Amino acid sequence: MREYFPALIGNDALRVQIGREIDERRLAHAYLLVGPAGSGKHTFARQIAAALACEAGSGAMPCGICSSCRAILEDRDPDVITVSRGERVTLGVEQLRAVLADLYVAPNWHEDKIYIIEAAETMTAQAQNALLKALEEPPRHVRFFLLATDAAAMLETIRSRALMLRMAYLSPEQMRRCLLDRDRRAAALAESSPDEFAAVTLAAEGCLGVAEILLDARRRKPIMLRRESAEQFLSLCVKRHSAAEVLVMLSALPQKREEASELLGLVSIAVRDLLAIKRAPGARLCFFVDALRAEQMAEQISLQALLRLTDALDAAQSALSRNANLRLTMLSLAQSANLI
């Protein structure tokens, strides 16, 4: 069987689907690639562009070694245009008008001209409306790849004119194998600190690009500290402490609303792990690196307490999203979870 898009990790069904569409010459003119940052959207779009121009008649698609593949994958092909918002918050109509002005200019080297529009969900309504006609009646040689983390933020008229492809999350084991194969830092971290390396594969939440960022010690440090704080907070819930101890712990929590919300999000993931263990021993864990430690912690807290804590965490995160006072929110959380 032909190997499709070997540079893309995971997403097996998606790779086969698009590979066959290219082989059978029925690739659509517009796709909406949806997935979180680091999930491989840009890699996939550029791989598809390379496959369309690849000079190899057989073997892997794309071959990755012919002159056309190299030019596209190295971002030096004039027929593959990336549209980015740069440092701006939104992608404005001016940038889209430049695209529209270029649409009817024939490709320089290939049969197709590819437009990769990054952060498509940040397009203003004006920009999306400007793009709409091009999506409805594009020149035959034009293909669009719209990359988005949140398709729901885009106009329905845009979403209905592009086929949606959702990038799949990698499992921790897929992440581990890929990192060890691709990055020397991963092998060094796995050898020097296996638990920290395992934490990286979990903290990336299935996104290879995020995991590669976390291999940098400076970028990883705040994540590891936040995970440590989350586990300390959870330990307060599992084992009874005095009110004074709880208040000391609460005072050590982040003093910024966004950081506190991220911490509570991690605690919520850890609580879900404990609930999963209660209901199905041996379940795959999303927070805990040490399964035995998680099982021991689950034994020390009742199912009712975990459900109560889940509700309290949800309420606290909701309050923080509404700009509630941080300290009062944390005190309310502690009271709702019966910590004090």
**H/E element holding 115?**
strand 113-117
CB-count burial class (<10 Å; 0-12, 13-18, 19+) for 208 = buried
Query: Sheet holding 80-83: strands in order across?
Result: 80-83, 113-117, 142-148, 30-34, 163-166
Q: pTM for the whole thing?
A: 0.73
pLDDT recorded at residue 32: 94
pLDDT recorded at residue 243: 63
Q: Measured between alpha carbons, how far is 215 from 197 in angstroms, rounded to an integer? A: 8
pLDDT recorded at residue 166: 92
- Bridge partner list, 164: 32
Q: Which region, left, alpha or beta, applies to residue 331 given φ > 0 means left and ψ of -120 to 50 means alpha?
A: alpha
Q: Which residue has the tokens 């971002």?
A: 75
Q: Measured between alpha carbons, how far is 262 from 266 in angstroms, rounded to an integer? A: 6
Q: Measured between alpha carbons, how far is 37 from 193 in angstroms, rounded to an integer? A: 26
Q: Measured between alpha carbons, how far is 231 from 310 in angstroms, rounded to an integer? A: 15
Q: What is the pLDDT along the chain (340 residues), one digit of tens a residue?
A: 678 998 888 888 899 999 999 988 899 999 999 988 888 899 999 999 999 999 887 788 999 899 999 999 999 999 999 998 877 888 888 888 888 888 888 888 888 999 999 999 998 988 899 888 888 888 889 999 999 988 888 899 999 999 999 988 888 888 888 889 888 999 999 999 998 898 888 888 878 888 888 899 898 898 888 888 888 888 877 766 666 666 666 666 777 888 888 888 889 999 999 999 988 877 888 888 888 888 988 888 888 888 888 998 999 889 888 888 888 888 788 777 766 6
Query: What are the residue boundaries of the structural domains of the chain, listed by start?
Result: 12-166, 171-215, 223-336
What are the phi and psi torsion angles at 82 (to 5°)? -95, 130
Widest pairwise Cα distance in the chain: 73
Q: Measured between alpha carbons, how far is 80 from 163 in angstroms, rounded to an integer? A: 19
What six digits make up the tokens of 32? Answer: 């909406």
pLDDT recorded at residue 250: 67
pLDDT recorded at residue 242: 63
pLDDT recorded at residue 117: 93
69 CB-near residues (< 8 Å, 6+ apart): 50, 53, 54, 55, 62, 63
pLDDT recorded at residue 138: 85
CATH of 12-166, picked from 3.30.1330.200, 2.60.200.20, 3.40.50.300, 1.10.1040.50, is 3.40.50.300
CATH topology of domain 223-336: Zinc Finger, Delta Prime; domain 3 (1.20.272)
pLDDT recorded at residue 281: 78
Q: Measured between alpha carbons, how far is 102 from 286 in angstroms, rounded to an integer? A: 46
Q: What is the signed CA dihedral for 47, 50, 56, 58, rounded to 10 degrees?
A: 30
Q: Which long-range contacts (CB under 8 A, 24 or more apart) does 184-189 make?
A: 185/215, 185/216, 186/215, 189/215
